[in-house]
Amino acid sequence: MKVSTSPVTGPGGAAGLAPRTGELIARLRDEENRPALVGYLPVGFPDVERSVEALLTLTDNGVDVIELGIPYSDPVMDGLVIQEAAQVALDAGVRVAHVFEAVRRIREHAPHVAVLVMTYWNPVLRHGVREFATDLAAAGGSGLITPDLIPDEAGDWIAASDELGLDRVFLVAPSSTPDRLALTARASRGFVYAASLMGVTGVRTSVGDRAESLVTDTRAAGAEHVCVGIGVSTGAQAAEVGRWADGVIVGSALVRPLLGDEPWEERLRNLAGVTRDLASGVRSARAAHGAH
């Protein structure tokens, strides 16, 4: 599968200018009439080196935006599949510094791909908010997704991300009020993460019924780009969501092929196959339904 590599501008990094996520999503919409595929994997699973191999497998098979997870011992959003992988990474001794190393290597390998770090807020606080932002920008990262940080309490991060030109992705859910949608849309840069249903990440047989209306409501509240996560696991689901969302976020379905006892190369091949199926889904999402 050939992936467009047109440059976009943004903060400097180890591999040159890091893509601004919003510009990347807009270009995919305008030039390719499709949503972005956002793929999640945790750094350090099953170890740092092999996690980078898995991340590069995503970039080589059609992912547009990497959501690079920092393993965390007390997740509030991660389902069992991601929890299992994160615990393996923690037991192996992964550290925040490994995240910046992974960002740098992804950007060197695939400079057209945006890398957003997905992290609970405590690791950022412990590292130092401005220090974290500085190290992320220096590595070539595009910004952060912060599932447990609401805009009302994000003053330090908003200031640091403004200073360093980083994206900041906040979340909305089916329970979000109109005022909350508007506040989150104003505070976000890159896109707003719409959780398709209440609950934790994981493979579902269908995406939540409220997902499409949540995207519509979030756009009406002022968001320029809205990407949908939780529950997408197949190319068919990616195509369904991609008809009305600006991006399709997939996590557990990408982590699952890496679990188990098969030889690592076989697990990477399985990951590549799942990724290509999802990439095919987003690329066909609007072909039969006209422009978004």
The catalytically annotated residue of 30, 32, 49, 78 is: 78
pLDDT at res. 76? 64
36-42, strands of its sheet edge to edge: 167-169, 143-145, 114-118, 65-69, 36-42, 247-250, 226-229, 192-195, 171-172
Looking at residue 131, its amino acid is: E
Q: CA–CA separation, 174 vs 54, rounded Å? A: 32
Q: Is the pTM of this model over 0.85?
A: yes
Q: How many structural domains is the chain composed of?
A: 1
Residues 176 and 190 sit within 8 Å (Cβ to Cβ): no
In a domain, 207, yes or no: no
pLDDT at res. 206? 57
In a domain, 201, yes or no: no
Range of the domain at 38: 32-170+233-285
pLDDT at res. 32? 96
pLDDT at res. 139? 97
In a domain, 71, yes or no: yes
Residues 192 and 227 sit within 8 Å (Cβ to Cβ): yes
In a domain, 129, yes or no: yes
The catalytically annotated residue of 64, 67, 167, 217 is: 67
In a domain, 175, yes or no: no
In a domain, 36, yes or no: yes
| 30 given a catalytic annotation | no
pLDDT at res. 3? 35
Structure tokens at 15: 């591999």
> Which residues in the chain come in under a pLDDT of 70?
1-16, 75-78, 197-208, 288-292
pLDDT at res. 1? 39
| 167 given a catalytic annotation | no
Query: For position 82, which CATH number holds?
Result: 3.20.20.70
User: What count of other Cβ atoms lies within 10 Å of the Cβ of residue 93?
Assistant: 10
In a domain, 10, yes or no: no
- Write out pLDDT tens, residues 188-239: 999 999 987 645 455 555 555 788 999 999 999 999 999 998 788 899 999 9
pLDDT at res. 7? 38
pLDDT at res. 279? 98
Structure tokens at 288: 């039969």
- Write out pLDDT tens, residues 267-286: 999 999 999 999 999 999 99
Looking at residue 71, its amino acid is: P
In a domain, 61, yes or no: yes
pLDDT at res. 5? 36
pLDDT at res. 90? 87
Q: CA–CA separation, 40 vs 251, rounded Å? A: 5
Q: CA–CA separation, 261 vs 256, rounded Å? A: 12
